[in-house]
A and B are shown apart, each in its own frame.
Chain A
Amino acid sequence: MAERTALFGCHQAAGARFVDFNGWDMPVQYTSILAEHRAVRSHAGIFDTSHMGQIAVRGQDAGAWLDWLLPNDIAGLAIGQARYSPLLADDGGTLDDLMVYRLSDEDYLVVVNAGGRAGDLAWFEEHRRGAVDIEPRYADRAMIAVQGPAAVDVVAALAEDGLATLPRFAIRPAKVAGRSVLAARTGYTGEDGLELFLSGSDAPAVWDTLLGAGVTPCGLGARDTLRLEAGLPLYGNELDRTTNPYEAGLGWTVKLAKPAFIGKEALIAVKASGPARTLVGFRVEDRGIARHGHPVLVDGQPAGVVTSGSYTPTVDAAIGMAYLPTPAAVVGAPIQIVVRDRPLAARIVPRPFYRRER
């Protein structure tokens, strides 16, 4: 039996179509993936992301411990700030990717992928040191993402306390529709927006109020095409146990100047030699759509595999990402994607495929 979020009833009432996602019964679409995608790019969409793991890390040593656990700089994270980081094994392979929000001096919120939650918690416990308390609080917590050019204004109009001025990658308590939330100016769509963390019992009222304010409910289908256009990696596609941050284009999350963190020695070696393969974006030029798992040819020879691929409506083309040997990962170079035994012409293009106007 799949788990259900606190918003399951809202999705059912809205006529959502459901899909099993990492053991969660989640809406994949309400009306149309394309229409939901366009709503986020043009106005605002709302996503139930309550399936994501919310882990509280607290205690006197919480900040120092997270700084050692993760390759990015957590020691330097100010109260009320958020930072993205991969979670690495000793060999530099990627176990998951996550967001760290510093809520107070000794109180951090770590948000991980639904599929990684159990493994991450075990990893955290196994590597726990010092005065650190780890509390999974997924059961009673919800998370709502409001994304799009109008998203911040729509939420701010329902909040008591001027959320419109919240800086990017900041988080603070707020009241939205009369309910207590933590509001963060973060997201996973390539648009401006907010992510709201709140109790499961408050979530349906906040969700319904936002719908009433004119935002479009969006499922996981649109979430995937939006993040793909924004060039954002998805764990299980672009990132897995065999990929390291340098080949994934996430070198900026690795702070080798830190005294120690898990995976540091392995990553020093990768950086010295340069990554053997590199994640690229591509655009299909023939008619057809490349998808996850399709082989990639360079000069007619097998050279890699598509990690994510779809038609996406803002770019209005079939696009995707793939790992290629680093010497072949040159923007502008022609490649081929083998789609059901048929090689399609494609070209390496810069990521992101879409960048919002600021």
Chain B
Amino acid sequence: MNIPEELGYTKEHEWVRFNDDGTVTMGITEFATDQLGDVVYVDLPPVGTTVRQFEKFGEIESVKAVSELFSGISGEVVEVNEKLGDQPELVNSDPYGEGWMLRVRPSNPAERDNLLSAADYGALTA
């Protein structure tokens, strides 16, 4: 299972990437997509929404099940992956790349310390 070293993780299987411009990008892990199966619908909040760390920001549905999405960090949504509207399968095919979900401007960058490292997340899903 692919768990990129440079990302932070939640126990709920979201990943967080810290970008050079101070924003963060979020999505769900390959482990999560493997558990879910074929993703057919992703419900994301609009730009401008305030999200809170470890609180629900959206929903993801596979053929068989619906799951909640939890934010890896608190802040304001500055960009949403609109491609997922027509191509939710990108979450399966490229969870850490084309399947990203939100870009957020963090309100408290210190929350980064609350995230799991790749090693800790790997241990959680082993």
A interface residues, Cβ below 8 angstroms from B: 28-29, 32-35, 221, 225, 287-289, 291, 310-311, 318, 340
B43 near A221: Cβ-Cβ < 8 Å: no
Q: In chain A, what residue has the closest Cβ to B63?
A: A33
Binds A, one of B12-20, B33-41, B108-116: B33-41
Q: In chain B, what residue has the closest Cβ to A37?
A: B63
Residues of A within 8 A of B37 (CB): 29, 32-33, 221
Residues of B within 8 A of A311 (CB): 40-41, 61, 63
Residues of A within 8 A of B63 (CB): 33-34, 221, 225, 310-311
Query: Main secondary structure on chain A at its contact with chain B?
Result: mixed
A318–B59 alpha-carbon span in the complex (Å): 16
Residues of B within 8 A of A287 (CB): 41, 43, 85
Q: In chain A, what residue has the closest Cβ to B85?
A: A287
A287–B37 alpha-carbon span in the complex (Å): 19
**What is the total number of residues of chain B having a CB less than 8 Å from a CB of chain A?**
12
Query: For window 51-94 of chain B, which residues contact chain A by CB distance below 8 Å?
Result: 59, 61, 63-64, 66, 85, 92
A289 near B40: Cβ-Cβ < 8 Å: yes
Residues of A within 8 A of B61 (CB): 289, 311
Contacts known (A33-B37, A288-B41, A311-B40); A221 close to B66, Cβ less than 8 A? no
Interface CB pairs A-B, < 8 A, 14: A29-B37, A32-B37, A32-B92, A33-B63, A34-B38, A34-B40, A34-B63, A221-B63, A288-B43, A289-B66, A291-B66, A311-B40, A318-B41, A340-B66
Q: How far is the CB of A70 from chain B (nearest CB, A)?
A: 33
B38 near A289: Cβ-Cβ < 8 Å: no
Residues of B within 8 A of A221 (CB): 37, 63-64
A310–B40 alpha-carbon span in the complex (Å): 10
A289 near B41: Cβ-Cβ < 8 Å: yes
Residues of A within 8 A of B40 (CB): 34, 289, 311
Residues of A within 8 A of B43 (CB): 287-288
A33–B61 alpha-carbon span in the complex (Å): 13
Residues of A within 8 A of B38 (CB): 32-35
Residues of A within 8 A of B85 (CB): 287
Q: How far is the CB of A318 from chain B (nearest CB, A)?
A: 8
A29–B65 alpha-carbon span in the complex (Å): 14
Q: In chain B, what residue has the closest Cβ to A316?
A: B40
**Which interface residue of A33, A311, A318 has the most chain B CB atoms within 10 A?**
A311
